[in-house]
Chains A and B, each alone.
Chain A
């Protein structure tokens, strides 16, 4: 009964939210009393309909526990119906949630959470206290049984060492390390930050500027430059300033984010602590890491600095910090850390590259639209003589060609016994490393225009994001079969 009230209220609330336009019309519009009676009648009819709907949806909302199959089963839906079955061991958490209305009525909102996105959880809106407790208890007893079994396994092997808590190795970022990192990190980021900063500043003071005489003065100042050479000099000067400011911003950002970074490994844990403004403290467990990225650029590589980026499974407590960056690791420590986080040693495997078509396609999109626009504009406004434009176009095309060619050279996918490694990047190089048994599923897509060429795009799905690899030959299918075989024969817990 209480359930009906709650469903009714929430349904009413939802539909009224959709009808706010009418409400405004009623209150603000020039409505005669004649209209009022109609509207109120309509509203009453509407409310009755929703009440009927609520009663029906209450009666159709049925759940039970199937002890034979160890499943929680839920049926719901009035017009359309849905049947959901979750087996106990897939349930991550059972918890209560109460809104004000639910508090007043004295019911509980039970949420049953399984791995994956929040859309995939089940909500039971109104359960009486005893029923809610009973359900939680029942489900939790099953969950705990399993986690206990797991814990026992763990504790037997790790207890003797646990007491000593010997630190195997430690990684700290010193002041100079932070400085080095800041200087060698991606300036474009810093540059972007400045742009954002100034554009917001400009927006705030735009009104001031328009009335300011400084603007005119600046324009006059610019006009005083007679020769092209002077303008060029000013431009280079500006460029250098922006570049330098970019570096400074990068350094500041690095200091804020990674100040006093400390990574310690003991026998069975990897602890991370860092940050000036917000202090982050995480314990990194191998099972929670789904994707590991190893990032560096030529300068950092010379300085023996590598960045580890870990993608973790999302869970309620750490929803925001799903990606963790650990910069400034030496190659030695980076491998040590990844060795801890992975169950196997990396081995060389078969290397795949996208088809040449990928390169041609990127070449096309890099060159043609820009050149077409530039040539078109020049044709209309006739600012530059044609030979100059053609020359510039040629230089641009060659630059893009060289760039894309390099990019194409660098991209590849390596599949070994236990790992999937995608390498990309011209300047800032990145390796995306996934353990094959942590894959959730694989998608292969083929646009019909690539059917003749026998090319497919592959998407690897993991619990913390997808990794795509474009335009591989259909022969890659053997690898898909192999990966499926690896997933299906694996008995390791992926989480």
Chain B
């Protein structure tokens, strides 16, 4: 026992059951490969805008040509980095919807697994950006009463899957109330 108490207390060790379901043994569901296409498309649009800007700068003679080329190369390099990052990020997104909780994993250099029990979910929302619409993707956000770190946002789901997850959780929340 920590030294904060003035006297020693009796012991009664809690032994956690080895039979509890292990979250690591679940096989993760992956998000859609279209997520990567979506991000690349976004980057592509950004690149086109940059090229247009470069072209305008060139025609207006505001900067020397080599600066514009350097700038573009820099942008390209950064985009290459971002693309590789997202390649791995997309590969590593994973989730499992279980009977009593939802597990979500993400990360490139640091893998982070967050598990939210359904009886702690405050509300669920689905979002879809313009690019998402084009690539037929949807995001599911799951909110708890905890801080930002305790919430989950699963990107790159097919609309059916997103709806399914949302309905499942909503159903679970209601069921929970009935139990009580």
Residues of A within 8 A of B (CB): 69-71, 77, 79-87, 89-90, 114-117, 120, 294, 296, 301, 304, 313, 331, 346-350, 410, 412, 414-417, 421, 423, 429, 431, 439-448, 451, 459, 461-463, 465-466, 477-482, 484-485, 487-488, 490-491, 494-495
- Partner of A461 from the list B3, B112, B147 (CB cut-off 8 Å) is B147
Contact partners of A446 in chain B: CB under 8 A? 110-112
Residue from A116, A304, A349, A480 having most chain B Cβ neighbours under 10 A: A116
Verify A83–B112 contact, CB threshold 8 A. Answer: no
Binds A, one of B15-23, B65-73, B75-83: B15-23
Q: Does B37 interact with chain A (Cβ within 8 Å)?
A: no
Task: Please judge, given known A-B contacts A87-B174, A444-B113, A488-B117, whether A80 and B122 are in contact too, CB under 8 Å.
Answer: no
Pairs A–B under 8 Å by Cβ, sample size 8: A82-B125, A301-B6, A440-B144, A461-B150, A466-B150, A477-B23, A481-B16, A481-B21
Q: Distance in Å from the Cβ of A327 to the closest Cβ of chain B?
A: 15
Q: Distance in Å from the Cβ of A75 to the closest Cβ of chain B?
A: 10
Task: Please judge, given known A-B contacts A443-B113, A480-B23, whether A80 and B2 are in contact too, CB under 8 Å.
Answer: no
Contact partners of B3 in chain A: CB under 8 A? 410, 429
Task: Please judge, given known A-B contacts A412-B2, A484-B23, whether A350 and B14 are in contact too, CB under 8 Å.
Answer: yes
Q: Distance in Å from the Cβ of A424 to the closest Cβ of chain B?
A: 9
Contact with A along B98-125 (1 / 0, CB 8 A): 0011000001011111111111101111
Q: Does B166 interact with chain A (Cβ within 8 Å)?
A: yes
- Partner of B20 from the list A70, A84, A463, A478 (CB cut-off 8 Å) is A478
- Partner of A416 from the list B14, B120, B129, B148 (CB cut-off 8 Å) is B14
Verify A296–B150 contact, CB threshold 8 A. Answer: no
Q: Distance in Å from the Cβ of B112 to the closest Cβ of chain A?
A: 4
Q: Distance in Å from the Cβ of A49 to the closest Cβ of chain B?
A: 16
Verify B109–A447 contact, CB threshold 8 A. Answer: yes
- Partner of B119 from the list A313, A480, A487 (CB cut-off 8 Å) is A487
Beta-carbon nearest neighbor of A478 in chain B:
B16
Verify B13–A348 contact, CB threshold 8 A. Answer: yes
Beta-carbon nearest neighbor of A494 in chain B:
B120
10 A-B pairs besides A90-B122, A313-B145, A478-B22 with CB distance below 8 A are A82-B126, A117-B148, A301-B6, A423-B4, A441-B120, A448-B110, A461-B146, A461-B147, A482-B17, A495-B145
Q: In the complex, A77 Cα to B128 Cα: how many Å?
A: 9
Q: Does B143 interact with chain A (Cβ within 8 Å)?
A: yes
Q: Distance in Å from the Cβ of B43 to the closest Cβ of chain A?
A: 18
